[in-house]
Amino acid sequence: MSRIDWSVKPEGIIKRVKETYGVEVSGDQIAKALGYEYRISWKKAVEVARFIRGFTIKQAEDYLNKVIKGELPVPIRRFTKKQAHHTTPWEGWPVAKWPVKVAKAYLEVLKNLENNATYRGLNVDNVVIVHAAVHKGRKIRNYMPRAFGRSTPWFQDTVSIELVGVELPADNVPKHLKLKPKPY
């Protein structure tokens, strides 16, 4: 099984938190979680990672549970070619999807992040996801037999998910989601 290395070091996380939130943190306030080789869409996983970055663990879990139930969509910002536009509860990004399988995979990794934060003695309500990355895993090779002795490749890609959370002071924890709701 191929394992990935961390794409970001603790020094980079500390620097990112200082630039984004203006708070000095130590290495003891960082919790990490990895999920290896999920059979999910890499593109949708990238969009979910971009979306949940900046959420607390509880906010991300609540939102992803609503995505699974079909109540709220995830905005698609990068991979938008030939995608349908939907009525969204926010302004500016009309392309949205409900990636249920990806949301379930992220919930597993979020649960792992929450358990790691608890083990390190962090207050889970103040842990904010400051780094979310998706890496392509190994390719599962398969072939579909065809007529006259031919075959067609039927490969499946896998995805590894990486999340890093930092415990912030209660004043700096985001209280609401970063979407700007539509005025009605």
The CATH number linked to 99 is 3.90.470.10
* Residue 182 belongs to a domain: no
Residue 17, in any domain of the structure: no
pTM (predicted TM-score): 0.89
Is residue 12 assigned to a domain? no
Does any domain span residue 180? Answer: no
Q: Is residue 163 domain-resident?
A: yes
Q: Per-residue DSSP letters for 8-43?
A: S-HHHHHHHHHHHH-----GGGEEEEEEEEE-S-HH
Nearest to 80 by CA among 94, 101, 98: 94
Task: Tell me, yes or no, whether 119 lies in a domain.
Answer: yes
22: in domain: no
pLDDT tens, residue by residue, 75-96: 888 888 888 888 777 777 788 8
Q: Report yes or no: 32 and 10 within 8 Å, Cβ to Cβ.
A: no
Domain count, the chain: 1
pLDDT at site 7:
81
Give the whole-angstrom CA distance, residue 182 versus residue 130: 26
pLDDT at residue 183, rounded to an integer? 56
CA distance 28 to 68: 33
Q: Domain containing 116: what range?
A: 28-167
What's the one-letter identity of residue 79? F
The upper half-sphere exposure of residue 149, i.e. CA atoms within 13 Å in the direction of its Cβ, equals: 0
Using one digit for the tens of pLDDT, what is the confidence trace for 106-132? 999 999 999 999 999 999 999 999 999
Asked if the structure places residue 48 within a domain, the reply is: yes
